[in-house]
Amino acid sequence: MLEKLGLIPIGELIKNKSIQNFLFLAIIQSSNILITIISMPLLIQGIGVDQFGLVNLALSIIILLNIMVGFGYNLSAPRAVAVNQNDKTALSHLVSNIFSAKVLLAVFATLLVLVGIFGLNLFKGYQIILLYSVLLLFSEATLPLWFFQGMEKMKLISIANILSKLLFLMGIVLFIHKPDQSKWVNFMMGFSGLFINLFILAYIHTFLQIRFYRPQFSAIWASLKENVLFFFSNLTGYISINGGLIIFSFFAGAETLGMFSLAERVVMVLRLFPAIIIQAIFPNASKLYKKDQPSFYRFLKTVYIRVLLGGAFIATSAYFAAPWIIRVLSRSELSESVLYLQLLSPLLFLSCLNIPNITILLVADLKQLLFKASWMMCLYMITVASILTYFFGGVGLCFAILSTEIVAYIISMLLLRTEKPELFHGFYS
């Protein structure tokens, strides 16, 4: 019907690479959400709320280290792959160097964990859980999502993600039944991801004719230097968004940490929505920016309006459905978790506000401005979250997290306006 009315050309819409990228990224994240919904009640019943909180705390540390393993390649590599799509030799060297760099970074991150646990006696209370979680570092190192984004062929990687999550879920059902088995939760997540990733790498080599060469250390070092600002931007961005649980661990016991962790897990899964949008539109937005900037701004405005409407709807739904969500996930009445989830529910809409600013910074390759915005946001979050958490506990942390998103939007917009006024007025005029 819409096609007949001429409002939406369905055939062209489906063929659009940005739409395809969004759909497959949405499939990836939808499977993550579904597995989270299924696994959380199983884990809480099996290991208890307190151990669930410690597992999530260990996961937060690993994800922080995974930022180092990724080292900004999630932002730079898709563009490099897209440029070299038709040159198999150049693409093979590029892929070989990126994978080699990420594996070396994973080894270094593992050494940091070992030194922290056995050398400095850090992470008390969840040292064993963290130790068993290091396999996630190698799962991240071998994840070829950036390759398929650059090739604009997301179907296979979305299927692979679903398979790895199903494998993880099967491991929980079969092996996680007691609190002392909590150390295996993140281990199984890392094992399932690494297992599937190795098959995908075999596919890349065999069917896409990508050869794996010996690493060129000079090229790896050059790419690391080129990505250093992306790395720090990702690192500070992660701390700003996900560092709340780590900060809360200094002020709360294991059970309260578990209550907050349950609500935060739900919200952070929903918060992936704007990240999916940016990843989906990035390849097409980059091309439009270079070829036709007026079309780029029109495209970005159209996406922005639709995303804001979608974000507002999901945030509102999460607020009213909070009691039901917590009851389904925990299979019990956890009023404290419900309160945290309701307070954090606007986060999804607030995080959508900054999509155009981040997209412009990325397509224009403004690494310095992106880094400046990230560290300012991070500094604000750490300061405000520490103060509010100290005085008001989890409620104060919720308000700190929400205010950080607003401050991040204002900072990014002001930096664009002062440093790159032509880009600012190109979109906002």
Question: Measured between alpha carbons, how far is 281 from 349 in angstroms, rounded to an integer?
Answer: 18
- Looking at the structure, tell me whether residues 172 and 143 fall in a common domain: yes
Question: Measured between alpha carbons, how far is 285 from 280 in angstroms, rounded to an integer?
Answer: 9
Q: Which of 284, 299, 279, 412 has the alpha carbon at shortest distance from 357?
A: 412
Number of structural domains, the chain?
A: 2
- Looking at the structure, tell me whether residues 255 and 389 fall in a common domain: yes
318 in any annotated domain: yes
* Phi, psi torsion values for 3, nearest 5 degrees: -65, -40
Sign (positive or negative) of CA dihedral 417, 419, 421, 425: negative
At 22, the pLDDT band (50, 70, 90 cuts) reads: low
Q: Residues 215-233: pLDDT tens digits?
A: 889 989 999 998 888 888 7
Question: Measured between alpha carbons, how far is 204 from 91 in angstroms, rounded to an integer?
Answer: 11
3 in any annotated domain: no
Give the pLDDT confidence score for residue 10 in this predicted structure.
Answer: 43
User: Do 297 and 427 meet the contact criterion of CB atoms below 8 Å apart?
Assistant: yes
**Distance linking the first and last C-alpha atoms of the chain:** 34
237 in any annotated domain: no
- Looking at the structure, tell me whether residues 156 and 250 fall in a common domain: no
- Residue keyed to tokens 């199983």: 42
Between residues 267 and 96, the one the model is more confident about:
96
The string of DSSP codes covering 11-60 is HHHHH-HHHHHHHHHHHHHHHHHHHHHHHHHHHHHHHHHHHHHHHHHHHH
- Cα 157–Cα 163–Cα 165 angle in degrees, nearest 5: 105
- Looking at the structure, tell me whether residues 357 and 409 fall in a common domain: yes
Q: Residues 368-408: pLDDT tens digits?
A: 888 888 889 889 999 999 999 999 999 999 999 999 999 99
At 26, the pLDDT band (50, 70, 90 cuts) reads: low
- For the entire predicted model, the pTM comes to 0.73
Domain end position, chosen among 168, 203, 228: 228
- Looking at the structure, tell me whether residues 65 and 205 fall in a common domain: yes
Angle between helices 355-363 and 272-291 (to 10 degrees): 40
234 in any annotated domain: no
Give the pLDDT confidence score for residue 181 in this predicted structure.
Answer: 92
Range of the domain at 143: 15-228
**Would you say residue 98 has pLDDT above 90?**
yes
- Looking at the structure, tell me whether residues 260 and 213 fall in a common domain: no
DSSP code for 6:
T
Domain end position, chosen among 196, 228, 260: 228
8 in any annotated domain: no
- Looking at the structure, tell me whether residues 97 and 220 fall in a common domain: yes
pLDDT over 70, % of the chain: 93
* Phi, psi torsion values for 179, nearest 5 degrees: -55, -35
The per-residue pLDDT of the chain, averaged, comes to 86
Domain end position, chosen among 228, 258, 292: 228
- Looking at the structure, tell me whether residues 222 and 313 fall in a common domain: no
- Looking at the structure, tell me whether residues 107 and 193 fall in a common domain: yes
Q: Residues 297-307: pLDDT tens digits?
A: 999 999 899 99
Q: Which of 166, 167, 168, 163 has the alpha carbon at shortest distance from 185?
A: 168
- Looking at the structure, tell me whether residues 19 and 156 fall in a common domain: yes
- Looking at the structure, tell me whether residues 213 and 305 fall in a common domain: no
Residue 336: CB atoms within 10 A of its CB come to 18
257 in any annotated domain: yes
User: Do 91 and 82 meet the contact criterion of CB atoms below 8 Å apart?
Assistant: no
Which residue type is seen at 392? F
Between residues 244 and 66, the one the model is more confident about:
66
**Would you say residue 248 has pLDDT above 90?**
no
**Would you say residue 39 has pLDDT above 80?**
yes
| 207 HSE (CA, 13 A, CB side) | 7
* Average confidence (pLDDT) over 61-78: 89
| 348 HSE (CA, 13 A, CB side) | 28
149 in any annotated domain: yes
Q: What's the distance, CA 29 to chain centroid?
A: 10
- Looking at the structure, tell me whether residues 100 and 183 fall in a common domain: yes
Q: What's the distance, CA 422 to chain centroid?
A: 30
Q: Which of 324, 215, 318, 228 has the alpha carbon at shortest distance from 271?
A: 318
User: Do 53 and 257 meet the contact criterion of CB atoms below 8 Å apart?
Assistant: yes
**Would you say residue 288 has pLDDT above 70?**
yes
2 in any annotated domain: no
